[in-house]
Amino acid sequence: MDGHGRQAAPAPLVTAASLVAVEALVMLGLAAAELFSTDGGRLLLGLTTTLFFGLYGVLLLVCARLVTRGVGWTRGPILLAQLIQLGIAWSIRDVESPLVLGLLVVVSLVVLAGMLHPASLRFLLEDATPEDSGPR
């Protein structure tokens, strides 16, 4: 149990959240790289791309932190991010960089498995179910 009288997050969920935090940091790094590579000829595109990557990274980082505390709504954005990542991997499958493709696929599948693991679902849905669900 943690300090709030709640059980600690299960290992599959912590693993998934840790990988999502890494994804978030990569997004924030991409935002910084885009900002520093933006020049006057494509200022608006560079700024909007920076804003998108930055907000996406912050959202993933917040969700990664809160999901380990049992905040159930964070599951949706995390799962959606992994499905998007798998779609990106599929779209670059013919590119010359199998390492990037492999990383995208493996990380997404591990996060999906961790988020959908029965122990993770029980932990996240623990507060969503009524305590007195028996007949009256």
Between 136 and 79, the higher pLDDT residue: 79
Q: Structurally, how many domains does the chain consist of?
A: 1
Instruction: Tell me whether residue 38 is in a domain.
Output: yes
pLDDT of residue 98: 86
Instruction: Tell me whether residue 28 is in a domain.
Output: yes
Single-letter residue type at 73: W
Instruction: Tell me whether residue 2 is in a domain.
Output: no
The boundaries of the domain holding residue 46 are 11-125
Single-letter residue type at 116: L
- For residue 64, what are its two tokens? 């990664």
Residue among 5, 10, 3, 130 nearest 67 (CA): 10
pLDDT of residue 39: 85
* Distance from C-alpha of 9 to C-alpha of 73, rounded to nearest angstrom: 15
Instruction: Tell me whether residue 82 is in a domain.
Output: yes
Instruction: Tell me whether residue 119 is in a domain.
Output: yes
pLDDT of residue 3: 43
pLDDT in tens, 2-17: 544 568 999 999 999 9
pLDDT of residue 1 exceeding 70, the answer is no
pLDDT band at 41 (very low <50, low <70, confident <90, very high): confident
CB burial of residue 44 (10 Å; 0-12, 13-18, 19+): exposed
* Distance from C-alpha of 120 to C-alpha of 18, rounded to nearest angstrom: 14
Instruction: Tell me whether residue 133 is in a domain.
Output: no
pLDDT in tens, 64-112: 999 999 999 999 999 999 999 999 999 988 887 888 899 999 999 999 9
Instruction: Tell me whether residue 1 is in a domain.
Output: no
pLDDT of residue 126 exceeding 50, the answer is yes
pLDDT of residue 130: 54
Residue-averaged pLDDT of the chain: 89
Instruction: Tell me whether residue 48 is in a domain.
Output: yes
